[in-house]
């Protein structure tokens, strides 16, 4: 059995590149038959054709199919127009998910950016910088599922009086506070979930910000100091504006991630206690309710939410290339 698998694997690793090289060589023979002046215009298109095909099959087609599905009934037979969207948007659970996604969008993005920035600036000023940065970056290497399990221990709750096994509640106990059901209490649970994601991603924001920070010439800061700026003014008027492009890139990445939030909620609360998010709700519609139409409608809504961010990102990229 294993032999078959290994053969298949090796075959894939060796044969796919071989096939691509053969494709390039063979098509190039064809291109050479064309008049010399048209050759440079045809060649690039032939080279990107395989990836264009892959993108079409694996991205464009599913997107169109999903949009189409969202206009059909549950069985996928009859066209029902916007009925699925009406149902979805009339559902209290979905509205809670949308609200929670907005929490994620704002809270998660802002906290990761702010913590990343603060840590990058602080780390820049200590001699043991790389050690600190490695430590803070480490959660990035952990999957969200594992991070959720770890934080499950942090948030664990026992009724008052019982020994508290969760770290946070044990601490509360130490100061004679009554334990909090972090993941169940409506006042804390969304924040608790977002905190886990913040813990994982802060290191990423810090590393990128730190690199951009080091790209700011020291003389610029010195010039500002001589010009009469306090350290705070230097930070506000020089460092922040110069970091802005970097912070925007990180920010948009985080926004997209916040809209896609799934794993942490799935593992820690399964979306119960008013912690559900759109992506998880979509999964539940598909897997638990077997309603592909509504799941598709949710997917399309998520896609619509992400498109502006994507457009912004691409524009930003073009702008930066233009001013370079």
Partner 1 sequence: MAGVVFEHVYKRYSGNVTAIADMNVEIKDKEFMVLVGPSGCGKSTALRMVAGLEEISDGMVKIGERVVNDVAPKDRDIAMVFQSYALYPHMTVYDNLSFGLKLRKTPKAEIDKRVREAARILGLENYLSRKPKALSGGQRQRVALGRAIVRKPQAFLMDEPLSNLDAKLRVQTRVEILKLHKSLQTTFIYVTHDQVEAMTMGDRIVVMKDGLVQQVDTPQTLYHKPVNVFVAGFIGSPAMNFLSARVTGDGRASLKGDGFEIPMEERVLSGAGARRDQDVIVGLRPEDLKDARFPGREGMPRVPAKVEVVESMGSEIFAYITVGGKTLTSRMDPRSEDLQPGQPVQLAVDTDHLHLFDPKTERALVLQGEPARV
Shortest CB 245 distance to partner 1, Å: 10
Shortest CB 231 distance to partner 1, Å: 9
d(CA 34, CA 283): 51
8 A C-beta contact, residue 166 and residue 157: yes
8 A C-beta contact, residue 224 and residue 67: no
8 A C-beta contact, residue 254 and residue 113: yes
Shortest CB 134 distance to partner 1, Å: 25
Closest CA relative to residue 275, chosen from 200, 199, 201, 182: 182
What are the residues whose beta carbons fall under 8 Å from the beta carbon of 100, sequence distance 6 or more? Answer: 190, 274, 275, 276, 277
- Nearer to partner 1 by Cβ, of 192 and 239: the residue is 239
Whose tokens are 């813990």? That residue is 199
**CA dihedral angle for residue 209, residue 211, residue 216, residue 222, rounded to 10 degrees:** 90
49: helix, coil or strand?
helix
Closest CA relative to residue 281, chosen from 106, 76, 93, 72: 93
8 A C-beta contact, residue 74 and residue 293: yes
8 A C-beta contact, residue 43 and residue 56: no
- Nearer to partner 1 by Cβ, of 154 and 242: the residue is 242
Under the rule (CB under 8 A), what is the footprint of partner 1? 217, 219-220, 222-230, 233, 237-238, 241-242, 244, 323
Shortest CB 294 distance to partner 1, Å: 48
Shortest CB 233 distance to partner 1, Å: 6
- Nearer to partner 1 by Cβ, of 200 and 238: the residue is 238
**Two tokens, residue 171:** 């601490």
- Nearer to partner 1 by Cβ, of 53 and 244: the residue is 244
- Nearer to partner 1 by Cβ, of 54 and 216: the residue is 216
- Nearer to partner 1 by Cβ, of 142 and 221: the residue is 221
- Nearer to partner 1 by Cβ, of 83 and 249: the residue is 249
């Amino acid at each position: 059995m294993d032999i078959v698998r290994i053969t298949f694997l090796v075959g894939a690793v060796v044969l796919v590149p071989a096939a691509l090289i053969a494709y390039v060589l063979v098509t190039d023979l064809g291109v050479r038959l064309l008049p010399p002046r048209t050759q440079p215009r045809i060649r690039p298109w032939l080279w990107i054709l395989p990836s264009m095909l892959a993108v079409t099959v694996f991205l464009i087609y599913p997107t169109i199919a999903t949009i189409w599905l969202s206009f059909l009934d549950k069985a996928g037979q009859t066209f029902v127009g916007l009925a699925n969207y009406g149902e979805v948007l009339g559902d209290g659970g979905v509205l809670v998910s949308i609200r929670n996604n907005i929490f994620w969008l704002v809270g998660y993005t802002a906290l990761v950016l702010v913590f990343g920035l603060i840590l990058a600036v602080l780390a820049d000023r200590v001699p043991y910088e790389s050690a600190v940065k490695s430590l803070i970056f480490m959660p990035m290497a952990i999957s969200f599922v594992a991070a959720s399990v770890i934080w499950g221990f942090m948030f664990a709750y026992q009724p008052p009086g019982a020994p508290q096994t969760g770290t946070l509640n044990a601490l509360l106990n130490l100061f004679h506070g009554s334990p909090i059901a972090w993941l169940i209490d409506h006042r804390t649970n969304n924040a608790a979930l977002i905190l886990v994601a913040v813990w994982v991603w802060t290191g990423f924001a810090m590393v990128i910000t730190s690199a951009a920070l080091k790209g700011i010439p020291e003389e610029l800061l010195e010039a500002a100091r001589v010009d009469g700026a306090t350290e705070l003014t230097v930070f506000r008027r020089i460092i922040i504006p110069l970091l802005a492009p970097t912070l925007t890139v990180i920010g948009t990445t985080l926004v997209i991630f916040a809209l896609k939030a799934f794993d942490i909620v799935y593992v820690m609360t399964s979306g119960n206690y008013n912690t559900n998010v759109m992506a998880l709700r979509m999964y539940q519609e598909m897997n638990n309710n077997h309603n592909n139409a509504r799941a598709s409608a949710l997917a399309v809504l998520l896609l619509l939410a992400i498109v502006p961010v994507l457009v912004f990102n691409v524009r930003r990229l073009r702008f930066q290339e233009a001013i370079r």
